Structure 1
């Protein structure tokens, strides 16, 4: 029954109400990407590679999904920190070397099962044409269009598109969770869903900059970077979700603080004054004039952040964000930065609900004494459901 249901339902049903994705060219600069991200309510923009065919048509394909954290990781590299103006003029193609495999085009009449299969293979984002609004025949035209849709090329100039993410698919599966019994009620330590080999973790006292390479990996696999103490006890995380709500002014704290101090710096309510002063002193000590100018110029933004966060109890902004420059764009809001955890005996359903409720794609797995033992991601959950569907065919 489940296989038949998911084979008959179309991915266009999951696109209802989704906004059209903003786009940027693969050849645009890092500076242009920062400007676009600051004007965009969403935290990501799509990256497209377009060329002209022999028939003089402009063919475009989406090759990645770009966020501020991609830029932060790129600009934080030592040779870029010392030459920020040059780095800002680099093409964004340098930031997305591994992203193409994570994005796949699907026609609107593709089945939901095809979407699950794509994500089972490691795809994180599906690009789907969406119906034009205010047109009663749009659904019919979308179906007709899909008959000649090329999964490798797209006529972006003619149509709008939306993202379908692993979260969208997991949320949809939750609505049909009864079809997968008894797996949802089964403890995660018996489902082979806890990833213990690909944990991304650093020590509390390690330089925050040592997390940059791990954060790049976390962006690729939809996870995060754990922070542990010397006994391997879980302390917290350096979250891509939180850092992605920052702008380039977070570069100096990353370059100068420890992992533990960076966690405190991005907590709600603004960074402690002693950490602000510590960043300034270390920037001056290392003669990082451009970074110091960036950091000092952001101080007015911190007061703007503090005044906003004092009126919000459920959601906060990254305290490094220059809200004066952004005009206080309240659409770019992130959840509280406390890490979400579970235990080996937690049920799969409980872990799913935790992740969906907090809008994160992963949940850390701890032993009873607080030792970090693994992580459960949306990708791992999807594999459990896909394997279950295989047994039903």
Structure 2
């Protein structure tokens, strides 16, 4: 049943209702990519080859922020924003892959397990009278690899997990097994000490984006305190680069929390930028609260006490919501589970909180590891090979 289900399910079944991608040329500047991200309802913008060769990657606010945190960018933010967006794109190959709409779900899972994060799929036009679905597909084949004259959407790991969850009964008894029993808890996590400089976590933040995970914040005993989440960073704006350059990892965690940065941390960031002779960052950017609805303009000549800075919430951005099933870990909200949690419970919890991973902790909050959507999909793929 499960094998036939995956074999007959087409990726087009997962594309229903998906909005078309907004293409951004790879020749666009970082500033143009930034503007596109701020005006988009999506966390990622697709980047396309200007010669019509297809989607070459994706960019999100975290990519831009990590780029602006580089030493050369910090010294001259205005120059960095004028560079081509190709400088920001991940150099890891295969993160974005094209896939035909009539490909099977099994093919999609195989590509994800090979490293694909987003699958670019042509949007099939609405069926017209007298024209079969297959015929429409053939008519579009000449433009299938070009964004000119053909709209695309993309599928994510979350889309596939959500689809599998809708038919989870076909995979019995797999869903009831614990993640510990299934052996999908990865103990090799990205982590940083609470008091370490946030700038020292830049590589880990960049890697967590590539791996679609997060960076754990731990104390000296290895107790899990919270996380620096790419999801939360993506809901900020480019000015969070100033916070990364000046705050500790623990303070950055508070700065990017969904409530917006506290005023005292904003003052700390501004003061430390001045101490480090990085006032050009104040001149280029307005240090902002990413979720507030009011706007107050500041300048680098203002005193710390006189400057309160708020910027409007970016339209269409999600605010992560936490249900009562989410553990509160030392006042830092993070989506966590127990090693004895069942596979289906972990899937539901991750889907509910719009994350691609769950931290696995013991009752004393000691960090065991992480479980990801890709590891879950690997379990489903291996299960099919045994039946």
Q: TM-score, normalised by structure 2?
A: 0.88
Return the match for 1:347 from 318, 339, 342. Answer: 342
Distance in 1 (CA, whole Å) between partners of 2:23 and 2:39 is 12
Q: Please report how far the alpha carbon of residue 300 of structure 1 lies from its aligned counterpart in structure 2 after TM superposition.
A: 8.6
1:62 aligns with 2:51: no
Q: Is the 8 A contact 2:122 2:153 kept in 1?
A: yes
Q: Report matched runs for 1:178-327 at 5 Å.
A: 178-197=169-188, 199-294=189-284, 297-298=286-287, 304=293, 322-323=311-312
Q: Is the 8 A contact 2:266 2:287 kept in 1?
A: no
Output the aligned Cα RMSD.
Answer: 2.4
Q: Please report how far the alpha carbon of residue 50 of structure 1 lies from its aligned counterpart in structure 2 after TM superposition.
A: 3.6
1:365 aligns with 2:360: yes
Distance change (3 Å), C-alpha of 1:8 and 1:320: farther
Q: Please report how far the alpha carbon of residue 267 of structure 1 lies from its aligned counterpart in structure 2 after TM superposition.
A: 2.3
Aligned counterpart, 1:54:
none
Q: Please report how far the alpha carbon of residue 49 of structure 1 lies from its aligned counterpart in structure 2 after TM superposition.
A: 1.6
Q: Is the 8 A contact 1:11 1:108 kept in 2?
A: yes
Matched residue SS, 1:60: coil
Aligned counterpart, 1:143:
137
Return the match for 1:160 from 134, 147, 151. Answer: 151
Aligned counterpart, 2:41:
41
Q: Report matched runs for 1:77-96 at 5 Å.
A: 77-96=70-89
Matched residue SS, 1:248: coil
Return the match for 1:119 from 112, 134, 142. Answer: 112
- Equivalences, count: 365
Q: Please report how far the alpha carbon of residue 368 of structure 1 lies from its aligned counterpart in structure 2 after TM superposition.
A: 2.1
Q: Please report how far the alpha carbon of residue 301 of structure 1 lies from its aligned counterpart in structure 2 after TM superposition.
A: 7.4
Q: Please report how far the alpha carbon of residue 140 of structure 1 lies from its aligned counterpart in structure 2 after TM superposition.
A: 4.2
Q: Is the 8 A contact 2:235 2:290 kept in 1?
A: no
Matched residue SS, 1:101: coil
Distance in 2 (CA, whole Å) between partners of 1:300 and 1:3 is 48
Q: Please report how far the alpha carbon of residue 133 of structure 1 lies from its aligned counterpart in structure 2 after TM superposition.
A: 4.8
Aligned counterpart, 1:13:
13
Distance in 2 (CA, whole Å) between partners of 1:385 and 1:320 is 48
Distance in 1 (CA, whole Å) between partners of 2:74 and 2:355 is 30
Matched residue SS, 2:333: coil
Q: Is the 8 A contact 2:295 2:309 kept in 1?
A: no
1:19-53 deviations in Å (ceiling 9; x for gaps): 001111122211110111112121111011243xx
Distance in 2 (CA, whole Å) between partners of 1:334 and 1:243 is 12
Matched residue SS, 2:274: helix
Return the match for 2:320 from 322, 335, 338. Answer: 335
Q: Is the 8 A contact 1:70 1:95 kept in 2?
A: yes
Distance in 2 (CA, whole Å) between partners of 1:207 and 1:301 is 21
Return the match for 2:379 from 381, 384, 387. Answer: 384
